[in-house]
Structure 1
Amino acid sequence: MMKTSFKLKIELYFAGLILLSTCSLLAQKVTCDCKQDLNFLVKKIKKSPAYKNDYRGKKRTFDQKLSPIASKASSKMPLFDCYLLLVETMQLINDRHNIVYGNAKFDADMLKDQGELEAFKETAFYKMYPHFSGDLERLQNNLSEKPGQSIEGIYYAGKSLEIGVVKDNLAGNYKMIVLRSELPLWKEGEQLGILKMNNKGRALAVMGNYSTKTPISITTGFKNGEFISLNLKKDTTQTSFWRAAFADKTYHFEQLSTKVSYLKAGDFSGFYPVLGEAEKFYEELKKRTFAANLIIDLRDNGGGGNRNSDILFEILENLKNSTQFFVLINQNTGSNAEQFAVRLREAKAATLLGDRTKGAIAYELKGDISILPSNFFKVYLSSKRHREYLPYEGVGIEPDVFLDYSKDWIAQTQSIIDNEIN
């Protein structure tokens, strides 16, 4: 149903209220009092368990690291540049659960409505991203010649976005430029975000959400021309063998052979309805007969809580004398799922296979969300530390066996099991 002109004007008015006194739209460039936001963020960080763990007795060290970041902040700073500084500040503490992100007023479902979409186009998040100033066609031609294993090149986020990743030698990172877009929010030439690579083949992506443009930061790996956690790849025909099997199911059990059983635990959420689905699955699991070898698939399990995972752990405890465990992990295995993998390896001498996990394992989130003074950003900080997992924080759990990204991971695991049996 079409919205009335009056109703649309009302929506545009309220959308405009997002721009508070500390921020403004100047010549279509969104600016913000970044100094105020940064000071607020630092005060919050200094109360966090990660800060107390990392800088106990070393307050001056933190201040020294913060100084060059804070010196860049200004009272009228472009919003995207300010967001980069806030994310950089958050990286000063080793806690992958902590995150600063956009204080969104629109979600993906709302933006399917044409009236809501038009209202969103008047807001800061729609206008905050820089534009590529060079020749877009020349950039596309240059990037098309980059080899498959190069970080630079042309990537695809599904069928709707074509992204050029190009080295920014001055800043020491990579820019993500929209080369083609079938999405109403993104236009050709806009900068989707940046990628900061580290020396371990992983990157921090600071970018706008594909479907809402909300600024977010994501740690992602890079393998075979694919940024693992961004659903961004050079070759869309390439099978992502690292992903969890049975994509349409959160929990699944299957007899792969007389010698091998398979169990997928795709989510350890401690809240309903997921917890209810898990409880039902676990009750059915108790009635199952397991083979001598069990593949436990924790790929893409971002975690949850012991309220869920403890039930499964107890079931597996009862199998320890009769079943050998082979646990699949990948770069998206995080938090409570990482803890679960460590517990299995320590309690049952389980073999871990796949790739190094996310490294968001030692801290716990309990709802401490604060809105920064500009009203553009939120900060979500952890409130509890699990000391026994600190060695894995920011590093991840290394598997006993690294698997080949170009071959099916379950088939590779079955081959390893067959070799052990024979």
Structure 2
Amino acid sequence: MPAKIATPDGYLPQKPETLAAYLSGIEAVRRILGGTPEKWTIAEVGDGNLNLVFIVKGPEGGVAVKQALPYVRLVGESWPLPLSRAHFEHMALSEQARLTGNLVPKIHHYDEILALIVMELLEPHIIMRRGMIAGVEYPRFAEDISSFMARTLYFTSDLALTASAKKALIAAFAGNTALCKITEDLIFTDPYRVAELNRWTSPQLDGYAARWREDGDLKVAVSRLKLKFLSSAEAMLHGDLHTGSIMLTTEDTRVIDPEFAFMGPMGFDVGAIMANFLINFFAQDGHEAQPGARESYRAWVLATLEQIMTSFRTKFLQLWRENATGDAYPASLFQGAEGEARLEVERHAYMDRLWADTVGFAAAKMIRRVLGLAHNIDLEWIADPDRRASCEARVLTLARDMMVNSGRYPTIASVTEAARAMRRDMKSY
């Protein structure tokens, strides 16, 4: 068993009965909650894989409290995990707030010793993944998430930063190695080998799992993606940008939980959004009461995905044209109309390379959510294992082709058309 993580003096996992006393000593939080601690209600609501999460309400308002544990909550103390992830989450939230404003929750207090963040209580927001399972449409989401990705990725890249500023940002996030290791193993390695924590719908998908472990083309393709993840410090990533890390209403979007933040390849974040929309698209067959009952929602999912990807590209390019302040592609090399025209061609070539990465990373995310440790409730909540396996088999089959034959997917329209065809033509696992 790995050694337990050493915790600093004063660290103590919070409980409702201890948290009230702690929060009462923070003036800013007392003002938000109002009243006295005896009038506050505290509930532990964390349903994620890693941390404690509390909702605290008082006579005047409420806050959310997130505290890191010295292990992976999903697994237990047999999987130690550093508390420093709270430090990286706080740093990422602060940077994201600077770049995107109200697209992330406001931080009220941060405690380094307790690895604890007190932040804005998002109500009546819900986790997006739950809303999409229920078939809720979010008309603002494409606009908001494309802005979030474009601004966080562009302004932390060499296109906007000086070399010294970029290297400082790399250094600031370099210590988040434990959470990067989770990604490296659970996304890029474990689904393609025998691994103790792997799981899938069995026996229905046993054959898929076995074939994935023997698929040389697939293993080479995912290894190339892993190498890019390990070596390409292109921009500050959220690192876990899926529909479970977004809270929203039909009118407001907030991105949460950036504890996996690090400097990595931009396509990893963009691909995570794509993967989760494709998973939800295929999962709708398992949630509809009658065949075809959710046809209009499936259409919304893919149309929104197309809008996200198109808007992201447009916004990123516009930021580059208007904010070319980085040391990459120096303006002195592209003077005059001819120079600008040549640079514009290169900008689009850059975005094409980013798109190719996005397709591959999306595929890797899709596969890990079916064959790896941590699954999506989009699929997990399908009660009938045969129906669930049929949805999952479509996810796996499309993902493999996206990863191995990425050249077949030059545009988002080619991806969404392939998803429609996969659902139409592949009837069962």
Shorter chain as normaliser: what TM range?
under 0.3
| Structure with the largest fraction of strand | 1
Greater RCO, 1 or 2 (C-alpha within 8 Å, sep 6+): 2
The structure with the largest alpha-carbon Rg is 1
